[in-house]
C-alpha cells in the first residue's frame, strides 16, 4: 500500500504539470480543446491527490497531516480545490496556470525533497481538533496562494483582462484585483477559524490558549497583515498596487509561518516545528 500511495502522489504530480501546460497554453491561443481538458486535468490530479491521502490515512491509521511531506500533499490538494471553486464562482481561468503550478510545486517539493516516512502521532495531536485546525488552515493557505497569484498578475498586468472568445468565458472582463480581494476575504475567514480553534485546542492540551510560541505568533502576524489589508481598503490612498503588494507581503508571511519556523532561534522549543 505504501508503494501505491507514493505512485499516486507521483501520478498526481504529473497530471498537475499537465494541467499547468493546458492552462498555460490558454494564454497563447484559442484552443477549444483546452476549455475542458485543463479543468479536467486539474480535477483528475486533485482526485488522485485526495485518494493518495485517503490511502495513507488507512495505511497508517492516522490523519496524514503530521509531517512536512503530508502537509505539502494536503496543500497541493487544497490549492487545486480552492482554484476550481474560484473558477466556478468567478467563471474565469486566468489563475489556472498559477494554481496548477502551485499544486505541482507543493507536491514536487514533497515527493522529491522530503522524507515520505510516516511519523507516529504524539499524544498532543491525538485530538478531535487536529483535523479541523490543520485542514481549515491549509484551505486558508491555498486561498491566500490564489490571492498572491492574482496580486502578482495584477502587478504585471493591472488592467482588466479581456476574455477572448473560446478560451475563457466569453464576454466577460476579469479584474485581477477583484480576484485577489475575493480570495483574501475567503482566506482570512479560514485563518481566523484556524487561529481561534488552535487556541481552544492548546487550552485543552497544554492548559494555555496562547503562549507566544513562534508558530502561534507568526500565525497572528499573518492574520494581522491580512487584517491590515482589509482595513486599508477604507483609505483613499490605498488602492490597487499598494494593496497588491500587501497581499504579496502577507503571502510571504504565510510561507514563513508554514516553512520557516526552524530558522527562528526559539524554534527548538516550539511544539509546531516539523522534525
Partner 1 sequence: MKEENKLGFGFKLLAAAALAGLVVQHVFFSPSATAPAQVLAGLVGFLAVMGAGLSARWRAYFGSVLFAVPAMIYVTVFSIIGTLVLQREPAEVFQEKYGRLAGLLEALFFDDIFHSLAFCLILGLTAGSMGLVIVRKRPPGLRVLGSQLAHLGLLLVLAGAGMGQVWGIKGRLDLRVGQQADNIRVQTGRGGGFLPLGFSVRLDDFKIEHYRPDFRLFVYRLSGEKQKKLFSCKPAKDCPELEKLGLSQVGYFPDYAQRVEIEPAQDGQGQGAVQLELSGGEKFWLVEEKFDERVPGLLFLPSRQKAEEYLKATGGEGGPHFLEIAGRRLAVKEAERLELGQGMVVQIKRAFRDFVLDPESKEPAERSEQPNNPALELLVFDSAGKSLGRQFLFARHPEFHGSMKELGEIRYLYLPEAAKARALIVGEERKLWLLEGGDKRESVLAPGEEFTWAGGRARWLDSFARVRERMVEYTRSQEENQPLFRLRLPSGQTADLTPGKPLRLDGEKFAVLAPRGGDTVKDYFSKLSVLEEGRAVKTEVVEVNSPLYHRGFYIYQANYRPDEPDYSGFEVVRDPGLWVVYLGFGLNFAGVVCVLWLARMKKRKESENV
List of residues contacting partner 1 (CB under 8 A): 60, 115, 117-120, 122-124, 126-127, 185-186, 188-189, 192-193, 196, 199-201, 203-210, 212, 214, 217-218, 220-221, 224-225, 227-228, 230-232, 234-237, 264-266, 275
Q: Residue 22 or 188: which CB sits closer to partner 1?
A: 188
CA distances 234 to 74, 151, 240, Å, are 35, 19, 12
Q: Residue 122 or 165: which CB sits closer to partner 1?
A: 122
Beta carbons of 166 and 30 less than 8 angstroms apart:
yes
Q: Shortest gap between Cβ of 28 and partner 1 (angstroms)?
A: 33
Please report the DSSP string for 69-136 in residue order.
Answer: HHHHHHHHHHHHHHHHHHHHHH---TTHHHHHHHHHHHHHHHHHHS-----PPPGGG-STTHHHHHHH
Q: Shortest gap between Cβ of 238 and partner 1 (angstroms)?
A: 9
Q: Residue 3 or 156: which CB sits closer to partner 1?
A: 3
Q: Shortest gap between Cβ of 16 and partner 1 (angstroms)?
A: 25
Q: Residue 16 or 69: which CB sits closer to partner 1?
A: 69
CA distances 70 to 38, 132, 140, Å, are 26, 15, 17
Q: Residue 21 or 189: which CB sits closer to partner 1?
A: 189
Task: Choose among 198, 245, 189, 241: nearest CA to 218.
Answer: 198
262: which residues sit within 8 A by CB, 6+ positions away?
273, 274
Q: Residue 83 or 226: which CB sits closer to partner 1?
A: 226
CA distances 189 to 14, 74, 140, Å, are 32, 19, 8
Distance in angstroms (rounded) separating the CA atoms of residues 197 and 219: 12
Q: Shortest gap between Cβ of 167 and partner 1 (angstroms)?
A: 25
Q: Shortest gap between Cβ of 176 and partner 1 (angstroms)?
A: 18
Q: Shortest gap between Cβ of 159 and partner 1 (angstroms)?
A: 23
Amino acid at each position: 500500500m505504501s508503494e501505491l500511495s507514493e505512485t499516486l502522489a507521483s501520478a498526481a504530480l504529473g497530471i498537475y504539470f499537465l494541467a499547468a501546460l493546458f492552462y498555460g497554453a490558454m494564454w497563447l491561443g484559442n484552443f477549444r480543446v483546452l476549455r475542458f481538458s485543463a479543468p479536467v486535468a486539474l480535477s483528475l490530479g486533485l482526485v488522485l491527490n485526495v485518494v493518495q491521502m485517503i490511502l495513507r490515512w488507512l495505511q497508517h491509521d492516522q490523519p496524514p497531516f503530521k509531517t512536512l511531506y503530508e502537509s505539502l500533499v494536503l496543500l497541493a490538494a487544497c490549492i487545486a480545490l480552492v482554484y476550481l471553486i474560484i473558477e466556478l464562482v468567478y467563471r474565469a481561468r486566468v489563475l489556472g496556470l498559477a494554481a496548477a503550478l502551485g499544486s505541482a510545486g507543493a507536491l514536487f517539493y514533497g515527493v522529491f525533497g522530503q522524507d515520505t516516512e510516516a511519523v507516529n502521532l504524539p499524544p498532543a495531536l491525538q485530538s478531535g481538533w487536529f483535523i479541523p485546525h490543520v485542514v481549515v488552515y491549509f484551505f486558508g493557505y491555498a486561498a491566500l496562494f490564489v490571492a498572491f497569484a492574482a496580486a502578482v498578475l495584477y502587478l504585471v498586468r493591472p488592467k482588466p483582462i479581456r476574455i477572448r472568445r473560446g478560451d475563457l468565458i466569453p464576454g466577460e472582463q476579469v479584474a485581477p484585483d477583484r480576484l485577489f480581494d475575493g480570495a483574501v476575504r475567503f482566506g482570512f475567514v479560514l485563518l481566523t477559524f484556524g487561529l481561534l480553534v488552535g487556541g481552544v485546542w492548546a487550552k485543552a492540551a497544554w492548559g494555555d490558549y496562547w503562549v507566544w510560541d513562534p508558530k502561534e505568533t507568526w500565525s497572528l502576524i499573518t492574520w494581522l497583515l491580512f487584517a491590515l489589508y482589509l482595513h486599508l481598503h477604507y483609505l483613499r490612498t490605498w488602492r490597487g498596487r499598494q494593496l497588491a503588494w500587501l497581499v504579496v507581503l502577507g503571502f510571504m508571511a504565510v510561507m514563513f509561518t508554514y516553512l520557516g519556523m526552524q530558522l527562528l532561534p526559539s524554534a527548538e522549543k516550539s511544539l509546531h516545528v516539523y522534525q
